[in-house]
Amino acid sequence: MPDGILGNPGNLVEPDQVHKACYTDDDIFEQELDKIFHKSWIYIGHETQVPKVGDYWTTWVGRERMILCRGEDGVHVLYNRCPHRGAMLCQGLNGNAGKTFRCPYHAWTYNLDGSLFRIPVEEGYDGTAFDAKDPRFSMKPAEQMGIYRGFVFAKLSEGGPDLDTWLGRGARAAFDDICNRSPEGEVEIVQNCFRMTQHSNWKIFLENQLDALHPSITHHSTGEAAAEMQKVYKQRTGEDPPIGYQFLADFTLPYEKWDSLSTYGHPYGHTVLGGYMGLRPRDPITVSHEEALTKAYGAERMDEILSTNVHHVLVYPCLSVQPPLQQLRAVRPLAADKTLTEIWHFRLKGAPEGIYERSLAYYYHVNSPSTMVNADDLQNFNACHEGLRLGGGGDWVSFHRNAGQDPVENGVTTSVTGMSEQPMRNMFAAWKEYMSAGS
């Protein structure tokens, strides 16, 4: 292990390799929560997750539990903590609080913006330092909250760039692309989501999202089975199989095809993987979607919107968005070796139902408990974490593929090949910057 690693974790990251402690060391993990997850904008949820006044969802930001809720005046993000004796106020995942949050322990009650509403037998505080107007006796709001096109983010520290600036052109594209595909320019979240606990480090998951080399290896068997089913379907019915099979059959694409894609590394670790799926077949559903968008925006803009073929946008460190497939995965690190991911999907407001069904097919084919796609990925994540944890065989992880070859222009790195490990290097460059701050 390099000298003084905990004092300066930046030493763990070199331009083309990183030390295994980044993934397995508990102290490093605690520093990540403080220096990355409490210092950057973290995705909380979508405005439509809480459509009615009193609706709430709980979630995780770093080591904190937070509440996303809707009051009369809009959406709030609050710490899930009662200022009386510290009890977690909302103990379930979601619900409707009515007009107030009421602590189950001693019934201190709060308005939906977190301000204190009422305390039982308040006279007991007469003559004490208690002051109902003092914010420390109200539920604390997140230090900062921002909303971009309905996607709610919070930051648990003051200062730094605002949400728009922090997202930048690279990450904003994720939300623009998904919303623009709606004839109303808005999406609506579908409740509920798949939740998965992985017994591996959060970065292993993120790295995999933009890893264009692994699909035709890890998912080859799934791709072959889907391609076979396409033939059987056609033989039996005489019709073209549903597009869902194609989503999986794409996993058999040759290396050359994956290498022909591009990835783009943006500031703050945000990274984009260009699309490879043909999502504009001439089927009646796609045609009716085109018609709806043409009616809303005109033919030229419709073509521009549907030609945006982005496969993944990684909003570092918390989110992986697939705009054309209307889904996102939110990353909630729980320990160095334990990561929760929430996988949500969306409807495009005003788009034909068939477009939603297409995204639902992908959502199930890739994420459901019965798919082999996720299972095969998880097996690799576990294997990586176990190998790194033991680590007698070596201390470093390699990101040498095309290292030093990807051109940079105006702060954006474009990979020379689709399989370049540029996305991982870009994320670790951001990791190093966050983790070195103040040291």
Residues that bind Fe ion (CB under 5 A): 377
Interface region with ligand FES, contact rule CB under 6 A, candidates 82-90, 159-167, 187-195, 270-278: 82-90
Of ligand FES, Fe ion, none, which one sits near residue 292, judging by CB under 5 to 8 A according to partner kind?
A: none
Q: How far is the CB of 99 from Fe ion (least distance, A)?
A: 45
For Fe ion, which is the closer residue by CB, 342 or 377? 377
For ligand FES, which is the closer residue by CB, 85 or 295? 85
Q: How far is the CB of 121 from ligand FES (least distance, A)?
A: 12
Q: How far is the CB of 105 from ligand FES (least distance, A)?
A: 4
Q: Which of 18, 28, 61, 82 binds ligand FES (CB under 6 A)?
A: 82
Interface region with ligand FES, contact rule CB under 6 A, candidates 99-107, 152-160, 208-216, 266-274: 99-107
347, 357 contact by CB (below 8 A): no
Residue 335, C-beta contacts closer than 8 angstroms, at least 6 positions apart: 26, 29
Q: How far is the CB of 81 from ligand FES (least distance, A)?
A: 9
Interface region with ligand FES, contact rule CB under 6 A, candidates 102-110, 162-170, 343-351, 400-408: 102-110
Q: How far is the CB of 120 from ligand FES (least distance, A)?
A: 9
Q: How far is the CB of 87 from ligand FES (least distance, A)?
A: 4
Q: How far is the CB of 374 from Fe ion (least distance, A)?
A: 8
Site for ligand FES in 224-243 (CB under 6 A): none
For ligand FES, which is the closer residue by CB, 3 or 123? 123
Of ligand FES, Fe ion, none, which one sits near residue 103, judging by CB under 5 to 8 A according to partner kind?
A: ligand FES
Residue 295, C-beta contacts closer than 8 angstroms, at least 6 positions apart: 183
Question: With helix as H, strand as E and coil as C, how does the chain read?
Answer: CCCCCCCCHHHHEECCEEECHHHHCHHHHHHHHHHHHCCCCEEEEEHHHCCCCCEEEEEEECCEEEEEEEECCEEEEEECCCCCCCCCCCCCCEEECCCEEECCCCCCEEECCCCEEECCCHHHHCCCCCCCCCHHHCCCECCEEEEECCEEEEECCCCCCCHHHHHHHHHHHHHHHHHHCCCCCCEEEEEEEEEEEECCCHHHHHHHHCCCCCHHHHCHHHHHHHHHHHHHHHHHHCCCCCHHHHHHHHHHCCHHHHHCCCEEECHHHCEEEECCCCCCCCCHHHHHHHHHHHHHHCHHHHHHHHHCCEEEEEECCCEEEEHHHCEEEEEEEEECCEEEEEEEEEEECCCCHHHHHHHHHHHHHHHCCCCHHHHHHHHHHHHHHHHHHHCCCCCEEECCCCCCCCCEECCEEECCCCCCCHHHHHHHHHHHHHHHCCC
Name the residue with the smallest CB distance to Fe ion.
377
Q: Does the footprint of ligand FES cover residue 110 (CB under 6 A)?
A: no
Q: Which of 6, 53, 87, 229 binds ligand FES (CB under 6 A)?
A: 87
Q: Does the footprint of ligand FES cover residue 103 (CB under 6 A)?
A: yes
Of Fe ion, ligand FES, none, which one sits near residue 84, judging by CB under 5 to 8 A according to partner kind?
A: ligand FES
Q: How far is the CB of 11 from Fe ion (least distance, A)?
A: 31
Give the integer Cα–Cα distance in Å for 208 and 220: 16
Site size toward ligand FES (CB under 6 A) is 8
Q: Does the footprint of ligand FES cover residue 85 (CB under 6 A)?
A: yes
CB environment 238-270: b (16+ within 10 A), e (fewer): eeebebbbbbbbbbbbeeeebbebbbbbbbbbb
Interface region with ligand FES, contact rule CB under 6 A, candidates 71-79, 101-109, 369-377, 421-429: 101-109
Of Fe ion, ligand FES, none, which one sits near residue 377, judging by CB under 5 to 8 A according to partner kind?
A: Fe ion
How many CB atoms are located within 10 Å of the residue 105 CB? 13
Q: How far is CA 112 from the centre of its chain?
A: 26
Q: How far is the CB of 314 from Fe ion (least distance, A)?
A: 14
Q: Does the footprint of ligand FES cover residue 84 (CB under 6 A)?
A: yes
Q: Does the footprint of ligand FES cover residue 65 (CB under 6 A)?
A: no
Q: Which of 106, 195, 231, 400 binds ligand FES (CB under 6 A)?
A: 106
Of ligand FES, Fe ion, none, which one sits near residue 118, judging by CB under 5 to 8 A according to partner kind?
A: none
Q: Does the footprint of ligand FES cover residue 295 (CB under 6 A)?
A: no
Q: How far is the CB of 102 from ligand FES (least distance, A)?
A: 9
Q: Does the footprint of ligand FES cover residue 108 (CB under 6 A)?
A: yes
For ligand FES, which is the closer residue by CB, 70 or 81? 81
Q: Which of 351, 390, 371, 121 is nearest to 248 (CA)?
A: 371
Give the integer Cα–Cα distance in Å for 294 and 282: 16
Which positions touch ligand FES (CB under 6 A)? 82, 84-85, 87, 103, 105-106, 108
